[in-house]
Amino acid sequence: MVAFTLNGRAAAVELPEAVPLLAALRGPLGLSGPRYGCGAERCGACMVLVENRPAYACTLPLGAAAGKAVRTVEGLGGPEAPHPLQTAFLAEQAGQCGYCLSGILVSAAALLEANPAPDEAAVRAALEPHLCRCGSHNRILRAVLRAAAAMREGRGGAP
């Protein structure tokens, strides 16, 4: 049994410690936000935050999350109380299929927590681990910068 904090609540899973964290999140823990793309740290679809730092859930052994704080896109916000990033992504219509967005959103959240005023180059660098095959990159960059500005001004990222 591995116990950790998931999106602010206590969570425990009965899975071998060597199983990837992603299998626990999408399996017994019932989340759908963290997504499987490659299983090899090459696409970022599975990205989650462990102790506020981006981590590839597809390879991180479940055991490595024991006792730590894990956050996923579901933990950023929901339709009732969206994170400024989620609001900004909707305002910029930053996405097409959206399969890449869960991972990109958590990496962007970690960036803005560490650097509230990134320039475009800093956003690109923070998102470099992420692939988007639909070509939504420019909208995503704009959305992250928009959310950063909104958060600095204490707004929610709405237009």
**Taking Cα atoms as reference points, which of 159, 58, 157, 49 lies closest to residue 110?**
49
At its nearest, how many Å lie between other proteins and the CB of residue 153? 21
Q: How far apart are CA 27 and CA 31, in angstroms?
A: 7
Is 56 a binder of other proteins (CB under 8 A)?
no
Confirm or reject binding of residue 127 to ligand FES (CB under 6 A). Answer: no
Choices 9-17, 69-77, 92-100, 115-123; region in contact with ligand FES by CB under 6 A: 92-100
Give me the residues that bind other proteins (CB under 8 A), please: 15, 19-20, 23, 26-27, 30-40, 42-43, 45, 72-74, 77-79, 82, 86, 89-90, 93, 95-102, 105, 124-125, 127-128, 130-139, 141
Give me the residues that bind ligand FES (CB under 6 A), please: 36-39, 41-46, 56, 58, 95-100, 132-134, 136
